[in-house]
Structure 1
Amino acid sequence: MGRCFFDLDNFKILNDTMGHDIGDQFLKLVAERLLHSVRGCDLVARLGGDEFVVVMENLAEDEQGAALKAKSAGQKIRTLLNEPFFLDDKSVRTSPSIGVALFADGGGCLDELLKQADVAMYQAKEAGKNGLRFFDPAMQAAVEERVALENDLRQGLRDNQFRLFCQPQVDAQGKLCGGEVLIRWQHPVRGLVMPNHFIPLAEQTDLIIPIGEWVLRRTCETLVEWERHPSLKQISLSVNISVNQIRADDFVERVLSIVNDCGTNPARLMLELTESLMAEDVEGIIFKMNALRENGVRFSVDDFGTGYSSLSYLKRFPLAELKIDQSFVKEIPENQNDAVITEIIIALARQLGLAVLAEGVETMDQFNFLLRNGCGYFQGYLFGKPCAIEFFSSNFANLMAADIRGVR
């Protein structure tokens, strides 16, 4: 037997824009097409919302044959639902994301089979929608790991398990002038967890907002603490901002609330945005950036040159800095293409009156090449690896007036 579990891509948009009455009519038309796409022995049911399930019996005696027939049935459903629907003289299109779970007669309980098909369906949706995926036990294990990690993340927030790290930034003389703050998760069992293992999950849930605010608040508190230290009071700190954070309607209010609560000098705070983020809701993001810029907060474009590199936004967004991505820095000066791109970015930034910082600087050859071409600021292992903010504060405090190349 086989079970197809699917939902309709973007149905919520149709329901919200055309009204619930039209949405109900649409679901009825979908059900009619489904009934015409299956055999008489198959069962079609609507589970709720825009979710449907098709139970197919007598597919084949062997698993491979059953899989081929289930796939064929699923593709037939997909083709039929891709055809336009006509509602109130309007043509409406949708597509299904389909998950398939196969099982022998009497094998598996209903809830478990639905869960498996549901897991496969979400894999189809994440792969780009309008597709079909089969359930795989490895997929289920990955989902269970994801659920466990999400629960741990929520517990980590409650128990204050996150730690702030910082990587030094230097000027053309190799003098400490700033730092980029980074987050680490001190998990009680997993140990020190790097951000690439939990930030993507946080961005897919509602957790990136409180995590991002924790980083921003801890950064602002650090800047206030440094005001009392003569060697650190001029240091600026950069904070990465996620797309979910800046999309929030109250993003500006949240940032200013944290800055004001901590008593931080906003001129020493740099918010880093990615190029891809700037391609979304341009007018809305410009409005928010201007509102913060008017209050002294500065902005940097992170990983410049790797994403949506539109020159038009450089003159429209209130930017203070461009950061050259380390993928360009890695092979200069040997790689001619990377060298030329780096030279162009530096020249462009200088012509626009923007500071330019190169990431991933690891060798003196890279440093000297960037210097010769007018790069003003640098970050990378040549100057220091990311370290706990407490270590940064105590070990770099007396190096403000010293060349810190080689400090680890």
Structure 2
Amino acid sequence: MSVTNLHLGIFGRTNTGKSSLINMLTDQDISIVSEKKGTTTDPVKKTVEIFGIGPATIIDTAGVDDLGEIGHLKIQKSLEVIRRVDCAILLIAGNQFGDYEVRLIDQFKEHDVPYIIVHNKNDISKIAAITKNAIKWHTNAEIIDISTLNSTDRDLLINSLKKIIPETVYKNLTLIGDLVKPKDLILIIIAIDSEAPEGRLIYPQNLTIRDAIDNHCITVVLREDEIEDFLKSGLTPALVITDSQIFKSVTEKLPENIPLTSFSILFARLKGNLIAYLRGTPCISNLKNGDNVLILESCTHQTSCDDIGRVKIPKKLKEFTGKRLNFKIISGLSPLPENIDDFALVIQCGGCMVTRKQLSNRINPFIKRGIPVTNYGMALAYVNGVFERVVSIFRKFYEYDRNNPKLPFIEG
């Protein structure tokens, strides 16, 4: 199951042929090609199907040698893209390799982004031995020599890309496949409130249902007020998945012997750092008056009085702790606060709309500084007193000391 597209960044100086490269990769004229420098300004995303690779979001960035104040801003935006991509192409041409390229290589290494180096326009000037030697002084990345005007070079480029695509992007990822077996009955309970979109299911619900189908499970979907009617049928589900915000009402109606979790927690395991979340969640009990709590919602949407991240979680945390807490909310992929040490707790959404790479780059700075991190679903489970129940299905994968959340975890 592919829950996110491959995110591929194209980086290099102006006029190295980044837009032409994208057209070559996709076999479409989807990027403006111009001999004029600076045609590409802000990073531009293009979601396409690349034959031989599959669905991909290609990010076309401005040249890293752009001059002037505006050029500097373009470069900064281009460098920010490195944090968000699964892999990258460093494009050079005319045997130009110097400080600009070394800076990009350093950024790729810092953010653990696999990359290849492509020398373009070999119909004009082939890559020279001295250029190859200069590159090899700084990196062991693969170097290929192509022309975007030569259609046969497309296969060479795609084959090189396949070698660097992280396994986490295209290996057989599953939300519940390792928790269930074929013909298991999966019960999905959905909240219908002011946040629920009219006439459709939200993205995590859709993906979870599809994953259950892909794993040959029998899937039943119902509302929370229909649980008792379902249980009267005498059927016992192998797993129940619900919206985190209705944990309390669902657990009151569902027998304790039936495994239960939420969409948010499943996505936290798929894309985030479940071990860190398991360790960080109980730290909610340690919050003190005046503590700052950072809420990271990775998508942007219209808010309502029932908004889970902006309304429900802050309210529940204040009620549970009885403390005066300060909340800061950052949506989308906006920059993190400069002084992350100001926060006593970080609560990350499930991350259904972002890649594993993007989500890990959001929470890893806090984990490295020893700041507790949790997830929407786990936080709501904890304050509703059902945390142990909704994470118990993961015990066969993770073991930890529940009474001392500060101890390291052991992956099973």
Q: Could you tell me the TM-score, scaled by structure 2's length?
A: 0.26
